[in-house]
Amino acid sequence: MTTEFSTSDLDHLFDALVTRMEAERDALCRLDGVIGDADHGVAMLQGMSAARDAVRATNGTLQDKLNAAAKGFLNAVGASSGPLYATGFMRAAKAAGPRQAMPRKDTPLLIAAMAEGIAHRGKAMPGQKTMLDAWAPAAEAAGGDGPLTDRLDRVAAAARKGAEATAGMVASLGRAARLGERSLGHPDPGAVSAAMIVEEMARAFRG
């Protein structure tokens, strides 16, 4: 394993994200059917596929490729996840900067930057049963110290735990908010897919 995370590593990360969303599409749709409109898996797969295509079509820096991912995801999807992930990828692009590779030890910062972008665009607060409930704890764990692999393990675990915890929350933002108490007992599909994305990112950053 090299100590650098390169643009070709980023290409592979997006391949992995598409593979993961393909595998989880129907499960995410079913989850969304309980408290939403059953299209979350479709949107995430469409978005990640378009992001992957844009990343692969862009010959440039990490920043260029992540900005391309943002635009690709947004224009393929719209919906809620489009602006949220587009803003997240743009923040990650800024954090990665105009370089061909970055030290792997700094890669958790990309997860924190994504979380910031998502929080900024969605204006959600943790605890409102949204994807931020996975991203925010992941971002917090990303700021920790220790060996990279340990930090990334903690990041992925925090996102997963955060997503699971949404089952115990009453939605107060997003479409499920109209359900009130009826959303209780079901995890938020956006938080569940967010934990999957964080897990894939952590795996790719580890090398």
Partner 1 sequence: MLTQKLINDGDAAVDEMLEGVLAAHGDILRRPEGSRRAVVATDGPREGKVGLVIGGGSGHEPTFLGFVGRGLADACAIGNVFASPPPQPAVEAAMAANGGAGVLFMYGNYAGDVMNFDMASEMLEMEGIEARTVLTTDDIASAPRDQRDRRRGVAGNVFIFKAAGAAADLMKPLDEVERLARHANARTFTMGVALSACSLPQTRRPNFDLPAGEMEIGMGIHGEPGVRRGPLRPADEVADEIMDAILEEMGASRGDRVAVLVNSLGSTPLMELYILYRRVADRLADAGLAIHKALVGPYCTSLEMAGASITVMHLDDELLPLIDHPCRCAMFREG
User: Which stretches of the chain bind partner 1, using CB under 8 A?
Assistant: 26, 29-30, 33-39, 41-43, 46, 74-84, 121-122, 173-179, 182
For partner 1, which is the closer residue by CB, 92 or 158?
92
Cβ at position 156, least distance to partner 1 in Å: 27
For partner 1, which is the closer residue by CB, 97 or 180?
180
For partner 1, which is the closer residue by CB, 162 or 174?
174
Cβ at position 81, least distance to partner 1 in Å: 8
Closest CA to 173 of 82, 87, 91, 80: 80
Q: Which residues contact 132 (CB under 8 A, 6 or more apart)?
A: 115, 118, 119, 122, 124, 125, 126, 191
For partner 1, which is the closer residue by CB, 108 or 174?
174
For partner 1, which is the closer residue by CB, 46 or 63?
46
Rounded Cα distance between 35 and 148, Å, is 37
Cβ at position 204, least distance to partner 1 in Å: 26
Closest CA to 7 of 105, 82, 97: 97
The angle at the Cα of 156, spanning 76 to 182, to the nearest 5 degrees, equals 70
Radius of gyration of the chain (CA): 16
Cβ at position 194, least distance to partner 1 in Å: 16
Closest CA to 73 of 138, 191, 169, 65: 65
Q: What is the DSSP string of 88-116?
A: HHHHHHHHH-SSSEEEGGGTHHHHHHHHH
- Residue position matching structure tokens 């939605």: 171
Cβ at position 80, least distance to partner 1 in Å: 4
Cβ at position 39, least distance to partner 1 in Å: 5
For partner 1, which is the closer residue by CB, 83 or 137?
83
Rounded Cα distance between 7 and 66, Å, is 10
